[in-house]
Amino acid sequence: MTNKTLLNVSDLRMQFGGLVAVNGVNLRVEEGQIVSIIGPNGAGKTTVFNCLSGFYTPTSGVVEFMGEEIQKLPDFKISLKGMVRTFQHVRLFNEMTVVENLLVAQHRHSNTNLLSGLFNTPAYKKSEERAMHRARYWLDKVGLTDVANREAGNLSYGQQRRLEIARCMVTEPKLLLLDEPAAGLNPKETKDLDNLIVSLKEDYHVSVLLIEHDMNLVMGISDNIYVINQGTPLASGTPEEIKGNPDVIKAYLGEV
């Protein structure tokens, strides 16, 4: 593999008072890879995500994104660098329409100059058109065109999940962090999600870091899997290696 390393996390540690939530976690995502983090409930997977996306400042450790240390940056700057996340519980702008959700997400691409907006200059019009165009493209892609002018809060759960991913995609990220995207989806919706994630990787060259409990999904699409248990790394490797790892089975099922 001649791929470049996109994300490199070494010795990540997050401590809340006396509680060590994450201890010594190492991660590596290459360009064009889908990497999964699995582990039992409360293992600290989401805490890792929060550290990576800047919602927490890690107690120690280094997070390198595209060769740059980002562990001290505020959350919105990390997102601007091209690492965008979704949430375990869907966080949409519920009272805004589906299209508006996608337009808001393109804030950084839009012309935010107040005067050019007030006077509706050609440059401003063009930037708005571009935003609309991109929103429309992603609505088609995730199959939400019919509900484009519906309020996001009124969508079904599966649609909300898809909208959240589309909302990340319009920001044109390099790395997408998905926090349990299949939670609450029925088998068909999970299948669609599977296809969508693969397509993001193949067609849009976006790398994906995934937290998921649905083992079929994880084993099917991951290039690499990290297992975390009680905040510490337990194992890592390809899906085949993980499936056969007795430690992992023990952590999930208990002592046999």
Partner 1 sequence: MKSNFSHAVFTAIITFIVSFPLLGLNLVTGGTSMSIEGAGPTTWMYIGAAVAIVFFFQLFRDQFTGLFRHIPKPSFNTGYQSLEPAKKAKVENWFTFAIILIALVWPFMVSRGSIDLATLVLIYVMLGLGLNIVVGLAGLLDLGYVAFYAVGAYSYALLSLYYDISFWLALPIAGIMAALFGFLLGFPVLRLRGDYLAIVTLGFGEIIRIFLLNATSLTGGPNGIGGIDKPTLFGMEFGRRVKEEGNTLFHEVMGISYDSTYKVIFLYLLALILVVITVFVIRRLVRMPVGRAWEALREDEIACRSLGMNRTVIKLSAFTIGAAFAGFAGCFFAARQGFISPESFTFIESAIILAIVVLGGMGSQMGVILAAIAMTVLPELAREFQEYRMLMFGLMMVLMMVWRPQGLLPSKRPHLELADDK
> Footprint of partner 1 on this chain (CB under 8 A)?
53, 55, 75-77, 79-80, 84-85, 87, 91-97, 99-100, 103-105, 107-108, 110-112, 114, 117-118, 120, 129, 132-133, 136, 139, 145, 148-149, 151, 167-168, 171
Residue with smaller CB distance to partner 1, 6 or 102: 102
**Minimum distance of partner 1 from residue 136's CB (angstroms):** 5
Distance CA 54, CA 201 (A): 24
Distance CA 204, CA 194 (A): 15
Residue with smaller CB distance to partner 1, 129 or 240: 129
Distance CA 233, CA 117 (A): 50
**Minimum distance of partner 1 from residue 220's CB (angstroms):** 27
**Minimum distance of partner 1 from residue 119's CB (angstroms):** 9
**Coil, strand or helix at 167:** helix
Distance CA 29, CA 135 (A): 28
Strand order in the sheet with 19-30: 19-30, 5-16, 60-65, 68-69
Residue with smaller CB distance to partner 1, 96 or 215: 96
Angle at 12 between CA 11 and CA 14, to 5 degrees: 140
Residue with smaller CB distance to partner 1, 1 or 118: 118
**Minimum distance of partner 1 from residue 132's CB (angstroms):** 6
Per-residue tokens: 81: 């660098």
Distance CA 207, CA 61 (A): 22
**Minimum distance of partner 1 from residue 104's CB (angstroms):** 4
Which helix (H) or strand (E) covers residue 7, if one does? strand 5-16
Residue with smaller CB distance to partner 1, 170 or 251: 170
Residue 187's CB is within 10 A of a number of other CB atoms, namely 10
Residue with smaller CB distance to partner 1, 45 or 167: 167
**Minimum distance of partner 1 from residue 168's CB (angstroms):** 8
Which helix (H) or strand (E) covers residue 123, if one does? helix 122-142
Which helix (H) or strand (E) covers residue 202, if one does? helix 187-204
**Minimum distance of partner 1 from residue 38's CB (angstroms):** 22
Residue with smaller CB distance to partner 1, 27 or 84: 84
